[in-house]
Amino acid sequence: MSKDASQEPSSPHKVDRRRFMGLATATAGAMLIRPGLVRGTTANSQVRVGLLGCGARGTEDVSNLVDTGGARVVALGDLFRDQLDAARARLDKIQQAKGYAAIDAAQLFVGPRAYQQIAASKEVDAIVIATPPYYHPEHLEAVVAAGKHVYLEKPVAVDVPGALRVIEIGRRAEAKLSLDVGFQIRDCPPFVELVRRIHDGALGKIVCGEAHYLTGYIDRPAWPNTSPAQRRLRNWIYDRVLSGDIIVEQNIHVIDICNWILKAHPLKASATGGRQGRPVSDGDAYGNYNVLFHYPDDVDVTFSSTQFAKGWWDVTERFFGTQGTSQSPYSGPLGIWGDEAWQATPSPAKDASEPQAFSVTGRFSSNLEFADSEKKKAFVESITSGNFHNQAAKGAESALSCMLARTAAYKGHEVTWDQLMKSTEVWDPKIDLDRLV
């Protein structure tokens, strides 16, 4: 990381919520484009997908796309050959069971230039980016410049300049390409219905809220026979700069839901956090956060997270209004209690063995069972219909909301949104990919 952002001069890129939402809604209001071709295939045929970043989450993303029946994986890119080979074996098995051809060896790209090579491939219509978050802005820019639709895993960036860069890239893609961000919960049926009811006034005036993302440690191999740089990249989730820290990389799902429900980003935050509970040798990411977010209309939301706990996990948002209370856990009773009561179909009790699975792959059960499938169906349909999505601004807003809390915890004092947006601090992992051993 570079020097303290509080010492930086004001940035000319001051971005308030009006600008964010103007960017996000501009595409929705534009004339729909219904092309006869989608990157060389008819609009009713399968979308040809490339995967950049062949880890667990990326492989799960493209498997979900294949499951829609509207997409097939034709290209893979990764920094490491072993990771690419493992993904290829799994995806070939899945696709051959559906009668699809194996992935062509000519469409396998390995090494530091893999992102440029897969973006340039004429065999690809859309690319899923699931590389370490630090690289997301750079990889997104290459894919959009190549004219490919893109599904960008969260978070969109790890620092403020990176998030602003994503907003600008999103502008260039407007009405030309679909640019989705991996907040699959926004397409999950029980959550969609809950938020619709809240926005229709089922809670009355929202007074306050509380949320938490309490989960266990994410165990990764030690990679003893690799260089320190390789270990950082392979276990990037332990690394603050490569991941953005746990609040930006993992906890962002919950904070994104809070922004969705409140139709706003926080105006300021105070926070604490630390590495207590984590192994001393696993990197520098925090193991816990405790945050107080101040949203517009005097709505305060408390948030807490862990990434080390044993024997228990829970991920939930609750909002308290003058007419009722909402609760939206990953597993367990989800709904509204009060004057306009409504509950989703009861889900099974959470499985204590599940946290590592959903932390790493996003493979959910219970209330989020259909989150991935609905999100991927919507992405494919946006491409084939020409009704292109543009989620860059909303994705950046949620990432910045998490950076607000992270900055407050690191600095030990309250930070406002306006102060955050003045930051020109560029995070740098100081890894030369061309010199990896």
The CATH number of the domain holding residue 134 is 3.40.50.720
Residue 429 and residue 245: Cα distance in Å, rounded? 13
pLDDT over 70 for what percent of the chain? 85
User: Cis bond leading into 155, ω under 30°?
Assistant: yes
**Residues linked to residue 306 through DSSP beta bridges, in sequence order:** 214, 288
Residue 91 and residue 102: Cα distance in Å, rounded? 8
Residue 437 lies in a domain: no
Does residue 37 carry a pLDDT above 80? no
**Domain co-membership, 144 together with 272:** no
pLDDT, average across residues 186-207: 98
Measure the CA angle with vertex 60, ends 105 and 92; round to 5°.
30
Amino acid code (one letter) for 131: T
Domain, as residue range, for 84: 5-185+381-390
Query: Tokens standing for 284?
Result: 């520098």
Residue 134 and residue 136: Cα distance in Å, rounded? 6
Cβ-contact 323, 204 below 8 angstroms = yes
- H, E, C per residue of 176-210: CCCEEECCHHHHCHHHHHHHHHHHCCCCCCEEEEE
**150 phi-psi bin (left φ>0, alpha ψ -120 to 50, beta other):** beta
**Domain co-membership, 41 together with 67:** yes
pLDDT, average across residues 90-94: 98
First to last CA, the chain: 23
**Domain co-membership, 136 together with 245:** no
**Domain co-membership, 171 together with 237:** no
Residue 271 lies in a domain: yes
**Domain co-membership, 177 together with 199:** no
Does residue 14 carry a pLDDT above 70? no
Does residue 366 carry a pLDDT above 90? no
The CATH number of the domain holding residue 214 is 3.30.360.10
Q: Name the domain count of the chain.
A: 2
Residue 43 lies in a domain: yes
Number of Cβ within 10 Å of residue 161's Cβ equals: 17
Residue 434 lies in a domain: no
**Domain co-membership, 357 together with 208:** yes
Residue 435 lies in a domain: no
**Domain co-membership, 159 together with 204:** no
**Domain co-membership, 180 together with 246:** no
Task: Please state the φ and ψ torsions of residue 342, each to the nearest 5 degrees.
Answer: -160, 135
pLDDT band (50, 70, 90) for residue 358: low
Residue 375 lies in a domain: no
Residue 428 lies in a domain: no
**Domain co-membership, 262 together with 302:** yes
**Domain co-membership, 209 together with 178:** no
Stretch among 26-35, 131-140, 214-223, 257-266 having the lowest mean pLDDT: 26-35
Residue 433 and residue 437: Cα distance in Å, rounded? 9
Is beta strand 206-215 parallel, antiparallel or unpaired with respect to 299-307? parallel
* Closest to 396 in 3D by CA, of 195, 193, 238, 255: 255
Task: Please state the φ and ψ torsions of residue 103, each to the nearest 5 degrees.
Answer: -65, 130
Average pLDDT, the chain: 89
Number of Cβ within 10 Å of residue 435's Cβ equals: 9
pLDDT band (50, 70, 90) for residue 410: very high
**Domain co-membership, 164 together with 278:** no
Residue 105 lies in a domain: yes
Cβ-contact 75, 106 below 8 angstroms = no
Residue 427 and residue 65: Cα distance in Å, rounded? 32
pLDDT band (50, 70, 90) for residue 312: confident
pLDDT band (50, 70, 90) for residue 239: very high
Looking at residue 346, what is its pLDDT?
Answer: 63
**Domain co-membership, 124 together with 252:** no
Measure the CA angle with vertex 140, ends 283 and 256; round to 5°.
65
pLDDT, average across residues 241-257: 98
